[in-house]
Amino acid sequence: MKIGNVEIKGHAALSPMAGITDKAYREICIQCGAAYTVTEMISSKGLTMKDRKSHLLMEIGENEFPVFIQIFGREPDTMALAAKKAEATGCTGIDINMGCPAPKVAGHGAGAALMKEPELAAEIVNKVSNAVAVPVTCKIRSGWDENSVNAAEVARLLEQAGAAAITVHGRTRKQMYAPPVNYEIIKKVKENVNIPVIGNGDITDIHSALYMYEQTGCDFAAIGRGAMGNPFIFEQINRYFETGEIMAPPTVEERMNMMINHIEKLCLLKGNYIGMREARKHAGWYIKGIRGAAAFRRETGALETMDQLKELAEKVIMQSKED
């Protein structure tokens, strides 16, 4: 797949997720075979007002390419200026968030709220794409609610405005993250534009990835929640498309080793105090599905040091060997 003039290799990308797809996890996913990654969403106003937190979110490392920086907002000129600042990092491209359902974003007219204002969404894309030389992509939802499922119409406008690719999450803003994804609307978007369409939602393994491709005809897949505690999913998908082989799930030991690797990167990035507190949620995801996970998750809530994390990992591994 090509996004603008950028050749993308592989078969699945890491979707942006606030509080999750930081630099540490993006590096992990690239190492595991993600075709490209997208940063946590960053406020365009924060970037233009030199907000320290916004600029920290924009930091990228040499081991996480290709990487797109995602920005959000509703003011075209501000979005264009923020995109220029993002481009200066050397990122692969700019992604515009038109899908976030969170009240603090959509409630202020940005994110998924732009699905209600297609002309404004197109103006933003036009201003941003004219401001930068790198490809500009968009992440949209199927619509705002069941009475306005307009992703295909919005996608056409965004393509005309200069978007190089569109990721479609197959739910409305009102639906948030349930019920199951509407594959038909993703298929409709694909049929209505000539740029790459990336399908997103409910991809948790090779089987659901194949289902996304088969049901929608999309050019690519983007994985969000299905990658939480499971960066192995990218290698599994790549292996299937390249060889037809369905890989065995990672062993408990492999999962625990990956968890430790991830949290070490996280602490290096954010310091031990913040890193270990963020490690608590990640550890819970890595342990999910393992026998005794509920009891182990209670221990994750008290993690404060890498030694404690390693002790927990050893307990999980030892129990798996006893089963």
- DSSP helix/strand/coil, 191: helix
Q: How far apart are the C-alpha atoms of 44 and 288, rounded to whole Å?
A: 35
Q: Which of 231, 309, 241 is nearest to 272 (CA)?
A: 309
Please confirm, yes or no, whether 100 is among the known catalytic residues.
yes
User: In this structure, are residues 70 and 97 in contact, taking their beta carbons and an 8 Å threshold?
Assistant: yes
Name the token pair of 204. 């948790």
User: In this structure, are residues 195 and 166 in contact, taking their beta carbons and an 8 Å threshold?
Assistant: yes
Q: How far apart are the C-alpha atoms of 247 and 58, rounded to whole Å?
A: 34
Catalytic residue among 29, 100, 138, 267: 100
Q: How far apart are the C-alpha atoms of 150 and 169, rounded to whole Å?
A: 12
Q: What amino acid occupies position 233?
A: I
Partners of residue 93 on adjacent β-strands: 68
Which run of H or of E encompasses 167?
Answer: strand 165-172
Q: How far apart are the C-alpha atoms of 19 and 39, rounded to whole Å?
A: 10
Task: Give the chain's end-to-end CA distance (angstroms, integer).
Answer: 44
Which run of H or of E encompasses 239?
Answer: helix 232-243
- DSSP helix/strand/coil, 217: coil
φ, ψ of residue 85 to 5 degrees: the values are -65, -40
Residues taking part in catalysis: 100
